[in-house]
Amino acid sequence: MTAQLTTGTAACPGCLAAPAEPARPMSEDVQIALSLPGIHCSACIATVERELNACPGVEDARVNLTLKRAMIKAAAGVRAADLIPVLGQAGFEAHELDTGALSATQTDKAGRDLLMRLAVAGFASMNVMLLSVSVWSGATDATRDMFHWISAAIALPAIAFSAQPFFINAWSALRVRRLNMDVPIVLAILLALATSLWETALSGAHAYFDAALTLTFFLLAGRYLDYRTRAAARSAAEELTALEVPRAIRVIDGREHEVAVGSLAVGDHVLVRPGGRMPVDGQIISGQSELDRSLLTGETVPVFAETGQTVSAGEVNLTGPLTIRATAVGTDTSLHRMADLVAVAESGRSRYTSLADKAAKLYAPGVHILSALSFVGWYIYSGDMRTALNIAAAVLIITCPCALGLAVPAVTTAASGRLFRKGMLIKHATALERLAEVDTVVFDKTGTLTEGTPELVNLKDQTPSDLAIALALADGSSHPLSVSLARAARDAGVRPATISNLVEVPGFGTEATFDGQRVRLGRAAWVGAEGGSGTSAWLATGDGAPTGFHFADSLRPGAAAAVEAFHRAGKTVVLLSGDTQGAVEELAGKLGIRDWVAEALPQEKAGKIRALTEQGRRVLMVGDGLNDTAALAAAHVSISPATALDAARVASDIVLLGNDLAPIAEACKTAEKATRRIRENFRIATIYNVIAVPLAVAGLATPLIAALAMSTSSITVSLNALRLR
Amino acid sequence: MEVLAYLIPISLFLGGVGLVAFIYTVRSNQYDDPEGDSRRILSDEWDDRPKP
């Protein structure tokens, strides 16, 4: 540990270049956030903090090990790009996070608020419970009255503070003349407090202060669990978004400025380097390259790009630098116009009612009617307002949905935690319930079932000399096909041939001299070959016809396993792709998918999903591209991999963090199990009610019985939920 | 039973101290990085002088 602690301070070229300002106003400080996926121990914390603090301009750096993140306060000139190499030299992988996208996780006000209310309710309920235990074990007369008064003094302010979330929810439901789960809760708490106060004033024997507080405590615990699960998913989803820092290079009078994408305006000249993504819609004004449009259309063959051609935001530039003039920015880009499609599709999903809401719809009116009936019945029978009100309060407290309030959050927390460890992020509250109902699975092809990276398929058909030349040429380019070709050839033990004058011609390929002859590797038309339908690179060596190197998209790990698991579970699997007929047919054959559609436009994808839904199917959509967004939103439930575009991840309910697809099939099983547990929990809660309610209606329920019924049912329900692990 | 007059306020006061202490820890962000804090305490880096 000491050895690691004393690693020498790294020389940091970027930091040294940054101007050191001796005195600067605080407001010019910048916040930089770095994601550090590799840190895991106290030595890592110390090293990272020391390295960062040693950089000129850095005022304060603090590592958060739980979030695996470093927050840095630095002078205005310092950029994350200066700090990342420093950490790289110290052996830590670092990625910049967009601080704007992170802001919500930092001040987690709502969660803290709920925790505080939970603490107050817990403190108060324990104190009141102690006082109540002495009353139940036989305190009488003045002692009992005093204990009741003390309980009242604790319970009233405590409930006024901690039960506020319920009051607010119930009020907002009542205002629009609707009933939700919070209405019976609030009614039970208020009625219990009122009758107990009245009883205490008349020095009666039964007071329900402890019940009202325990109720609040258990229900708040359920709310807090629910909140935590969703906050964890939200912060992880936010981190994914923050990893894509929206920056672009604006060219003004030949000089390059790095600016935020949001500040680009129509008419700006933007430079996009090879490997970069188009930040705006525009027209190419200089440069030549190839574009990868797979995220937008699903097609895997790169498209040639030259001056005058229009490009859309989201396309990836492959070989040469391009300068584009922006024609549409921000929300006007084609990327954002998809949002309209998504909004239309989403209106269908909001109709889903969760299991908890269904239970509440049955439960809330039932409880009120039962309580009102017992009040009326006892009032007619005994003619005593006090007895009747007491019994009505007892019925409300005993039937109060303590266990119901815990039944769903406890199970979803357990299930989400389990799925998170397998690399799935549940973003939406009811996603698990919807996932459990799925009977049809629709996959996108490019980037979902396949990795979106090409793989050489006809290595064995090539002559060794061709391979040697091709390898030498491929080494001169960072085009995905070249990279893949070079890797495949090296793996087969091929040594590169000696070539000279190697040049890359952006948009076409690479060219060199071999044995005095010109050799070329690149697009079919450029080397003089007849282009085929698939993805290919062609090699012309001067003598003989050019030879083709054909590529196929490699399967994502676990894709075959996931499709097979769905088939075995009796679910229909559909392949829906924007790619060409041939490519889709081949992949469908390889995976044994009988139902497939090729060359589907985004609207057609969403339309197909809607058609399936109208047939009564529950569709799970798995997709990553922009062309899938509408389909993702239209489906009953949707999953997108972490590599997907931001828009696709926003539209989907679940994000798959790892590269492996296999967890999807398991997630369906976990979801089914979770839904079964939720139903079991509802049943357990009902059984408790069936036993306790007749006692309450008969007027036999004491505060002791109420407390016992409430605690045991809550604990059984939580334990049943934990069985999911 | 006169002892109750002392015991109940004392027990309530002690419980209240616990509650206030908990609220203080929540308000001063002490639950932001539980994993990191549990490891930081093992580091001997700032043992001799406080962090500037």
- What is the rounded CA–CA span in Å between residue A626 and residue A637? 17
A98 belongs to the catalytic site: no
Q: Per-residue pLDDT tens for A369-394?
A: 888 899 999 999 988 888 888 888 88
> DSSP per residue over A513-558, as a string?
EETTEEEEEE-HHHHT----SSEEEEEE-SSSSPEEEEEEEEEPTT
Residue A697 confidence (pLDDT) above 60: yes
- What is the rounded CA–CA span in Å between residue A331 and residue A335? 8
Q: Per-residue pLDDT tens for A355-375?
A: 777 877 777 788 888 888 999
B33 touches chain A (CB under 8 A): yes
- Residue A584 belongs to domain with CATH number: 3.40.50.1000
Q: Per-residue pLDDT tens for B25-43?
A: 988 888 878 888 888 888 7
Q: Are residues A80 and A139 in the same domain?
A: no
Q: Which residue has the higher pLDDT, A491 or A301?
A: A491
Residue A11 confidence (pLDDT) above 60: no
* Confidence band, pLDDT 50/70/90 cuts, at residue A64: confident
Q: Are residues A6 and A49 in the same domain?
A: yes
A140 touches chain B (CB under 8 A): no
Residue A318 near residue A292, CB atoms below 8 Å: yes
Taking Cα atoms as reference points, which of A379, A445, A725, A401 lies closest to residue A579? A445
Please tell me the distance in Å from B35's CA to the nearest CA on chain A. Answer: 5
* Confidence band, pLDDT 50/70/90 cuts, at residue A337: low
Q: What is the mean pLDDT of chain A?
A: 81
* Confidence band, pLDDT 50/70/90 cuts, at residue A25: very low
> How many separate domains does chain A show?
5
A24 touches chain B (CB under 8 A): no
Residue A340 confidence (pLDDT) above 70: no
Highest mean pLDDT out of A236-245, A333-342, A711-720: A711-720
In a domain, A340, yes or no: no
pLDDT at A124: 93
Residue A19 confidence (pLDDT) above 50: no
pTM of the model: 0.74
Secondary structure of A86-146 in the HEC alphabet? HHHHCCCCCEEECHHHHHHHHCCHHHHHHHHHHHHHHHHHHHHHHHHHHHHCCCCHHHHHH
Residue A502 near residue A471, CB atoms below 8 Å: no
Residue A71 confidence (pLDDT) above 80: yes
A435: tokens are 């996932």
pLDDT at A163: 92
Summarize the confidence of residues A300-325 as an average pLDDT: 82
- Residue A291 belongs to domain with CATH number: 2.70.150.10
Q: Are strands A322-328 and A281-286 parallel, antiparallel or unpaired?
A: antiparallel
Q: Are residues A156 and A168 in the same domain?
A: yes
- What is the rounded CA–CA span in Å between residue A431 and residue B42? 41
Q: Are residues A176 and A125 in the same domain?
A: yes
Residue A598 near residue A579, CB atoms below 8 Å: yes
- Last residue of one domain, picked from the residues A518, A534, A554: A554
- What is the rounded CA–CA span in Å between residue A373 and residue A694? 13
> DSSP per residue over A340-363, as a string?
HHHHHHHHHHTT---HHHHHHHHH
Amino acid identity, residue A668? C
Task: Return the residue in A112, A123, A134 with the most chain B beta carbons within 10 A, the one to mutate for interface testing.
Answer: A123
Q: Are residues A398 and A417 in the same domain?
A: no
Q: Are residues A281 and A229 in the same domain?
A: no
Q: Are residues A130 and A204 in the same domain?
A: yes
Residue A245 near residue A301, CB atoms below 8 Å: no
Q: Scanning every residue of chain B, which has its alpha carbon at the shortest distance from the alpha carbon of A125?
A: B15
Torsion angle defined by CA atoms of residues A645, A648, A653 and A658, in that order, rounded to the nearest 10 degrees: -30
Residue A24 confidence (pLDDT) above 50: no
A65 touches chain B (CB under 8 A): yes
Q: Per-residue pLDDT tens for A612-630?
A: 988 988 899 998 877 788 8
* Confidence band, pLDDT 50/70/90 cuts, at residue A118: very high
Does the distance separating the beta carbons of B43 and A42 come in below 8 Å?
Answer: yes
ipTM field: 0.84
- What is the rounded CA–CA span in Å between residue A450 and residue A595? 17
In a domain, A341, yes or no: no
Torsion angle defined by CA atoms of residues A602, A608, A614 and A620, in that order, rounded to the nearest 10 degrees: -80
* Confidence band, pLDDT 50/70/90 cuts, at residue A123: very high
Q: Are residues A431 and A565 in the same domain?
A: yes
- Last residue of one domain, picked from the residues A29, A64, A97: A97
Residue A75 near residue A283, CB atoms below 8 Å: no
- Residue A29 belongs to domain with CATH number: 3.30.70.100
pLDDT at A168: 92
Q: Are residues A519 and A606 in the same domain?
A: no
Summarize the confidence of residues A595-611 as an average pLDDT: 85
Which domain, by its residues, includes A222? 109-235+356-405+679-722
Calculate Rg over the CA atoms of chain A. Answer: 33
Residue A68 confidence (pLDDT) above 50: yes
Residue A452 near residue A553, CB atoms below 8 Å: yes
Residues of chain B in contact with residue A133, where contact means CB-CB under 8 angstroms, are none
How many contacts (CB atoms, under 8 Å) link A and B? 51
* Residue that the structure tokens 């997709």 belong to: A623
- What is the rounded CA–CA span in Å between residue A248 and residue A256? 10
- What is the rounded CA–CA span in Å between residue A585 and residue A312? 28
Q: Are residues A302 and A385 in the same domain?
A: no
Q: Are residues A429 and A488 in the same domain?
A: no
Residue A665 near residue A443, CB atoms below 8 Å: no
Residue A310 confidence (pLDDT) above 60: yes
Q: Are strands A509-514 and A30-35 parallel, antiparallel or unpaired?
A: unpaired
Query: What are the sequence ranges of the domains in chain B?
Result: 1-30
